[in-house]
A and B are shown apart, each in its own frame.
Chain A
Amino acid sequence: MLKNIIEVKNLSKSFDISSKEPGLKGTIKHFFKRKTKSLKVIKDISFEIKEGEIVGFLGANGAGKTTILKMLCGLIYPSEGSIFVSGNLPFRRKENFLKNITLIMGQKQQLIWDLPPIESFYLNASIYDLDKFEAKKRIKKLSEMLEIEDELFIPVRKLSLGQRMKSELLAALIHEPKILFLDEPTLGLDINAQRNLRKFLEKYNKETNATICLTSHYMKDITSLCKRVICVHNGSISYDGKLNLLLKKLSPVKEILIVCKSEKDANQLENSGFNVKNKSKNEITIKVENHSITSSLKTILNNFDIEDLFINEPPIDEIIGKILIKKDHNV
C-alpha cells in the first residue's frame, strides 16, 4: 500500500486585507487610516496525497488553490491546522525538505534573463550541491526528455515562451525532487507546447514516481494528467475524489447524433419515446443517460435504418465550469 506523502489536517489561513473606498476622499482616508479586516482564505481543509499521485486542484480565481500550494511547499505559514509533507513541517524549510520539493509557477521565472539557460542550470546545481559531472548528466537527460537540447545555449530573452517554460522546468527539476508543486505551468503556451509539457510531466511521473500537485485553468492539463481532483470553493474543499466520477455526476447524459437513411426514419425515431434535443431533415439529436447508452443504441440499430451516428461527450470546459461555481459536489 502506498504511503501518504502529504497530510493536511484542519488547515486554515487568514490574511489581513485592507479595503479602500473609491475617489479622492477614499484615497485620503485610506492613506491616513486603513480599514483592515481578517479574511479567512482557507477554511478548515483536510486531505491526504499518496506517493506518486498526480492531483489537480480545481477552483475559480481566488478560490485558494495557490495559497494551498504555497502552504504545502512552506512559503506561507498556516494560521491553524497541521501540514506534513514527506514527514516535515514545510514552513520550517529544512534543507532536506527543500531538496525534495520544487515549485513551478507559470507566470514567474527564475532563469537568468540575459544568459543561456544552461548557466542557470549549473547555478542551481551548485545550490543543490551537485557535482559538475552529475549536473551535466541530469541536464543531458532532462533536456532530451524536454526536447530543448538546441536551446540550452541561447540567451533566455531570445527564447519563445514555450522554450522558456521547458527551461524553467529543467531548472526546477535538476535536483530530482520527489514532490512537484505546479501552479498553472502551461499558462500562455500554445496548444503544442501545452501538449509537450503534459507529455513530459506524465513521463516524469512514471519514471521517477514523483508526486505532482497541479493547478491549471486549462482543463486538458487536468483531464490528461490527474485521476484525482480536489475542488476548492471559497477556501473550502467542495470535492475530493476521482475526476471521472465527478464528470459522470455533473454530466449524467450524453448526446447522440443519428443520421437516418430518410426523413421518414427520422420522423419515426422522433416519435419512438427518446428525449429529442433537435431534428432537421434526416438528422436527429437525442439525449441519453450514461447508464442506458448501450441499450438505447441497440434499440436504435435494430429498429431503424441508420446511415451514421455520433456519440458526443459534453464539452469538458462546460462541466468544469459548473465545478467552479458550485459549492458542493458530494458523489
Chain B
Amino acid sequence: MNLIRYLKVYTKFLHTSLASELEYKTNILIDLITAILSLLGSIFLLYIFFQNNESIGGWEFKQALIIQGIYTILNGITNTWFNPNLTEIVKHIREGTLDFVLLKPIDSQFFISLKKITPSGFLEIILGFCLLLYCIKINQIKIHLSFLTLSLITIICSICILYSLWFFISTTTIWFVKTWNATEVLRSFLYIGRFPLNSFSFSLRIFFSVFIPIAFITTIPSEVFLGISQTWKILLEVIVAMVFLFTSRKFWLFALKFYSSASS
C-alpha cells in the first residue's frame, strides 16, 4: 500500500519536474549538446593518455573505455537525480524551506532526494550504455545471465555509494549551513573514477578505496564487465554500498534533531 503511494508520488515528481524543465527548451538543447561534447572530450583525453602507452595499470585503451562507459552512466545519473536534488538540500536548509518538506506526511529523505530530475542527464545514461555495448563488441565479451546480473548489481551498488556520499555531505549542512564546496570536491573526485584504480600509486589506491571509495564506483563494475573481478571485491562493494546507505539514512534522521530552521 505504502509502496503504491510512494510510486504514485514519484510519478507526480517526474511529471512536475519534466514539465518545469520543458519550460526552457533552449536550456535542454544546450545541456544535450554539452553531454555529447563532454563524452567526446573524455574519450579524446583517454586516447591521449594511451597514445604512448599500450596499457596503464594493466588496462588497455579498449578496456579503459568500459570504465569511461560506466562513469558516463553514473555521471548521467548524477546529473539527472543527484545534482538537482542533493545540491538543493543546502538551499533548503539555508533558506528554511526544508520546513515544508518536513511537514509533509511522506519520508523526507525520499522527498528531497527524488523530487526533481534533469532530463538531459538521460542522454548521458543512454550514451554510456551505447559505449558499453560498443565495448562488449571490441572486447569480445560474451553476454550471459550471471554476467548481466553481476554487472547490474555492481552498478546499482556504485549508484548507492555515490548517492550516500553526496547525501552525507549535504546533511552536514544542518550544522555547518554551507557545505557547497564539499559536494564540489566530491564531484571532482568522481572524475578520478574515469581511470582504472591500478593506474594510481599504492597510497592513492588506498585513499580512493578506503577514505573516499571512488574506486568501487567504476573500477569494480568494469572488472565485472571484463570478467576479471574477484568475488571478494564484488561482495565488498555490496557490503560497502549497504553500510553507506544505512549510515547516510541514520545520519539524516540524527541530523534532523538539530535542525533549527531559518529565521523568518
Residues of A participating in the B interface, judged by any CB pair closer than 8 Å: 15, 66, 70, 73-77, 93, 95-96, 98-99, 101-103, 105, 107-110, 112-115, 119-120, 122-124, 126-129, 155, 183-184
- Measured in the bound complex, the distance between the Cα atoms of B94 and A108 in whole Å is 12
Task: Tell me the residues in window 196-220 of chain B with beta carbons closer than 8 Å to chain A beta carbons.
Answer: none
Q: Is B53 at the interface (CB under 8 A from chain A)?
A: no
Return chain A residues, CB-CB under 8 Å to B23.
114-115, 155
Say whether B257 contacts A77, CB under 8 Å. Answer: yes
Say whether B19 contacts A119, CB under 8 Å. Answer: yes
Shortest A96–chain B CB gap in Å is 8
Which one of B73-81, B96-104, B160-168 contacts A? B96-104
Return chain B residues, CB-CB under 8 Å to A102.
103
Which one of B4-12, B132-140, B228-236 contacts A? B4-12
Known: A76-B260, A112-B20, A127-B9. A103 touches B99 (CB 8 A): yes
Say whether B99 contacts A123, CB under 8 Å. Answer: no
Say whether B264 contacts A75, CB under 8 Å. Answer: no
- Chain A to chain B contacts (Cβ below 8 Å), 23 pairs: A15-B260, A66-B263, A73-B103, A74-B103, A75-B99, A75-B259, A75-B261, A76-B260, A77-B257, A96-B105, A102-B103, A103-B99, A103-B100, A105-B96, A105-B99, A108-B97, A108-B99, A108-B100, A114-B23, A114-B24, A115-B16, A119-B15, A120-B16
- Measured in the bound complex, the distance between the Cα atoms of B5 and A74 in whole Å is 24
- Measured in the bound complex, the distance between the Cα atoms of B98 and A93 in whole Å is 14
Return chain B residues, CB-CB under 8 Å to A101.
103
Interchain pairs with CB closer than 8 A, number: 79
Return chain A residues, CB-CB under 8 Å to B264.
66, 105, 107-108, 183-184
Say whether B103 contacts A112, CB under 8 Å. Answer: no
For the A-B complex with A70-B261, A75-B103, A129-B5 known, give 20 more contacts whose Cβ atoms are closer than 8 Å: A66-B264, A75-B102, A75-B259, A75-B261, A76-B259, A76-B261, A93-B102, A95-B105, A96-B105, A102-B103, A114-B19, A119-B19, A123-B9, A123-B13, A123-B16, A126-B8, A126-B9, A127-B12, A127-B105, A184-B264
Q: Is B106 at the interface (CB under 8 A from chain A)?
A: yes
Task: Tell me the residues in window 218-249 of chain B with beta carbons closer than 8 Å to chain A beta carbons.
Answer: none
Say whether B104 contacts A98, CB under 8 Å. Answer: yes
- Measured in the bound complex, the distance between the Cα atoms of B264 and A66 in whole Å is 7
Say whether B12 contacts A122, CB under 8 Å. Answer: yes
Q: Is B95 at the interface (CB under 8 A from chain A)?
A: yes
